[in-house]
Structure formats: structure tokens, C-alpha cells
Amino acid sequence: QTNHVHLLPHSSIDSATSVSSAILLPHSTIKNGCTVSHALLQWNATLTSQSDAHHVFLMERSEVGPHSFTANTIYGPDSHVSGGEVHCTIFGPNANSHHQSLLIGILWPLGRGNVGYGSNVGSNHTGRIPDQETSVGEGTFWGLGCVIKFPVDLTSAPYSIIAAGVQLPPQRIALPFSLITDGPGGMNQ
């Protein structure tokens, strides 16, 4: 089912479940069982393989899928998400999330990082309304199974690594190229 769709030359919709209110610029594609509404796909952007996407903007050569769920998100050029959930996020250029993970309320405009399997980066609310977020520096690596509790500010800590399994409580880190691990007494080091 399609409605309110504008396909520019060489763009395509192939075997999608439902597409409504979408603009596909040249060489962009929605395919293989996707459900999409309110989407803008720039050049060579792709939504694929049973992914759900609502209120999204995919910049050039970005890709969502397979098996991803995303809403209210902007994807920078050459970014890729597969198998996870991304909500209310600015997912910068060359950022990747190739595993089952969750990103909510992330401001990551410079991207160039990676999200490890099982990462839980954020929450959409404090029990009442979606009122918190995290700001992330360029090149951040979220380790396997890390849990990030909002608000967190890593904009002054570019190219940092949050190690596997770390629980990061609300804080601001201003040390570039950091390796952040669990420390004694629940503190990070």
C-alpha cells in the first residue's frame, strides 16, 4: 500500500508492506517488507528488510535495516543501523549500529562512532515525559551491554570508549580519548 509518495528518477519501492508520505530522491530505495511513513530519503539512501521507519530523514548513502525500528530520527551521510531501535535521535555521519541495541534521545551530530551489541543508551523519560537526552562527541564507541543513564554530556570527550558492561550515571566528561570503565563503589574511572 502506498499513498502520498514522490519518487524521483531511479528511486524505487520494492516489496514494501506500506509506504505513506515519503519522498525518495534519485537512487534511494525502500524494499523488502518495510513499513514507512513520513520519510525523506536522500540520494542512495535505503530502508530495507522488515524495518519500521516513521518521521525519519536519511541523508545520502545512509541505511536502516535489516530488522530495525526507528522514529523521529535524522541519519547523517554514510550512517548505518541494523537490528536495533533508534528514537528521537540525531545519528551523525559514518556512525554505525550493526547489532541489537537501543538509542533514545541522542544528539550525535558529528557521528563517526559505533554502538556495540546490547547497548542501552538512554531512556525517553524520567517517569513522566521525554525530557532528557545525551550529547555525544565525535567518534564515541559504546561498548557491549553498556547502560547510559541520562543526562550525560560527552561532547568534550571525542573518540572515547565506554567499555563493555559499564553503567554510566548522569555526568559530564571532558577528557578526549578516554577509556571509561567501572570503578570502585559504583564510580566510573
- pLDDT score, position 85: 94
**Average pLDDT rounded to a whole number, residues 108-128:** 84
* Contact residues for 156 (Cβ-Cβ < 8 A; gap 6+): 137, 172, 173, 174, 175, 176
* pTM given for the model: 0.94
Q: Mean pLDDT over all residues of the chain?
A: 93
Give residue-wise pLDDT tens across range 6-61. Answer: 999 999 999 999 999 999 999 999 999 999 999 999 999 999 999 999 999 999 99
| CA gap 177, 137 in Å, rounded | 10
DSSP state of 143: P
Answer whether 13's CB lies under 8 Å from 19's CB: yes
Give residue-wise pLDDT tens across range 62-93. Answer: 999 999 999 999 999 999 999 999 999 999 99
| CA gap 52, 30 in Å, rounded | 11
- pLDDT score, position 120: 93
- pLDDT score, position 123: 64
Give residue-wise pLDDT tens across range 140-177. Answer: 999 999 999 888 999 999 999 999 999 998 899 999 99
